[in-house]
Amino acid sequence: MNDKKLQAKDFITIGIFTALLFVVEFACGILGFIHPYIVASYVVLIPIVGSIPMMLFYTKIEKFGMLTIMSVLVAIIMFVTGMGYLGAPFIIAAGVIADLIARSGRYKSFKKTIISYGVFCLWICANYFPVVITANSYRKNLIEGGYSAEYCDNLFRAINSKTIAVLLILCFVFGCVGAYVGKAVVKKHFEKAGIV
């Protein structure tokens, strides 16, 4: 039996945790309906709340491919729910890199797990890609149409290509913070209950 390769059981586990991750994303996403600007706070909420299932997930499979496949699933679901495909290569890249980092620590090293989760969290920024890209061309169109630059800035202050850099960094930072939170919860509950 080849223990290195993912098996049917592992694919099921990946599916379950992807579903859980999306439930977290949707729950946070509802807040975004209040106003699009709140969407910016995803970079704090999702890494931290999502860390609880994710840290459990890290302990469950410990084989290469677990994060890669998860990122592919995330990309597919994002595409099908109309959130665009521009982010897909980015999401999958984040997944593969996160997977490689975790593998270099054999999925046991907590330090590597922190960085790996931080990188994995960058997928959240793919939510913003369509907005950023349209916002840029939108602003150009508005200015060409004779509107004041001040008005446009007001409208799109929160969304432009500079903020995306900031958001990426925030995602990574809060991902790392989240890893600590998630690890603490896993210790408090799952290790104590003896299921990890």
Partner 1 sequence: MSLKLDPRTKLYMIFVVSAVVMMSATTPFLWAVRISMTMIPILLLIIEKHYAAAFRFLILYAAALIVSFRFLSENSKGFLSAFLVGYCSIIVQFMPAMITAWYVVRTTKIGEFVCAMQKMHIPDGITISLAVVMRFFPTIKEEYTAIRDAMKMRGIMLGGGDAAGIIEYRMIPLLFSCVNIGDELSAAAVTRGLGGKVKRTSVQVLKMSVADYLLMLLFTAALAVFVVFKYIK
Partner 2 sequence: MMQTIAKIDNVTHKYKGAAENSLDGVSLTIHKGETILLCGASGSGKTSVIRLLNGLIPHYYHGDMTGYVTVNGHDIAKTQLYELAGIVGTVFQNPRSQFFSVDTDGEIVFGPENIGLEPKEINARKEIIAEQMKLDKLLGRSLFELSGGEKQRIACASVAALLPEIILLDEPSSNLDMQAVSMLHDIICEWKKQGKTIIISEHRLWYLKDIADRVIYMDKGRIVREWSGNDFAELSEEETKQMKLRPTNINERYLALLSGNDESGSRHTDVSDGIILREFYFSYNHKPCLLRRKIFTAADGDDLSLCIPKLTIPKGKVTAVIGSNGTGKSTFLRCICGLEKDCTGVIISKGKEYRKRQRIGFSYMVMQDVNHQLFTDSVEKEVLLSMKEKDIIRCHEILDTLGLLEYKGTHPMALSGGQKQRVAIASAIAAGAELLLFDEPTSGLDYAHMEKVGELLRQLADSGSTVLVSTHDPEFIELCCDHTLRIKKGRVDSLD
Question: Site residues (CB under 8 A) for partner 2?
Answer: 1, 9, 188-189, 192-195
Measured from the CB atom, the residue of 63 and 96 that comes closer to partner 2 is: 63
Q: Tell me which residue of 77, 83, 87, 100 sits closest to 18, measured CA to CA.
A: 77
The tokens describing 56, both together, are: 């459990």
Binding site partner of 4, from partner 2, partner 1, none, Cβ cut-off 5-8 A by kind: none
Query: Alpha-carbon distance 64 to 37, whole Å?
Result: 37
Binding site partner of 194, from partner 2, partner 1, none, Cβ cut-off 5-8 A by kind: partner 2
Query: Alpha-carbon distance 73 to 79, whole Å?
Result: 10
CB of 101 to partner 1, least distance (A): 21
Binding site partner of 93, from partner 1, partner 2, none, Cβ cut-off 5-8 A by kind: none
CB of 9 to partner 2, least distance (A): 7
The alpha carbon dihedral of 119, 123, 125, 130 has a sign of positive
The tokens describing 38, both together, are: 């709140």
CB of 189 to partner 1, least distance (A): 5
Measured from the CB atom, the residue of 45 and 115 that comes closer to partner 1 is: 45
Q: Looking at residue 86, what DSSP letter applies?
A: T
Measured from the CB atom, the residue of 131 and 176 that comes closer to partner 1 is: 131
Binding site partner of 192, from partner 2, partner 1, none, Cβ cut-off 5-8 A by kind: partner 2
Binding site partner of 82, from partner 2, partner 1, none, Cβ cut-off 5-8 A by kind: partner 1
Measured from the CB atom, the residue of 108 and 157 that comes closer to partner 2 is: 108
What contacts 24+ positions apart, CB below 8 Å, involve 161-166?
161/132, 161/136, 163/40, 163/132, 164/125, 164/128, 164/129, 164/132
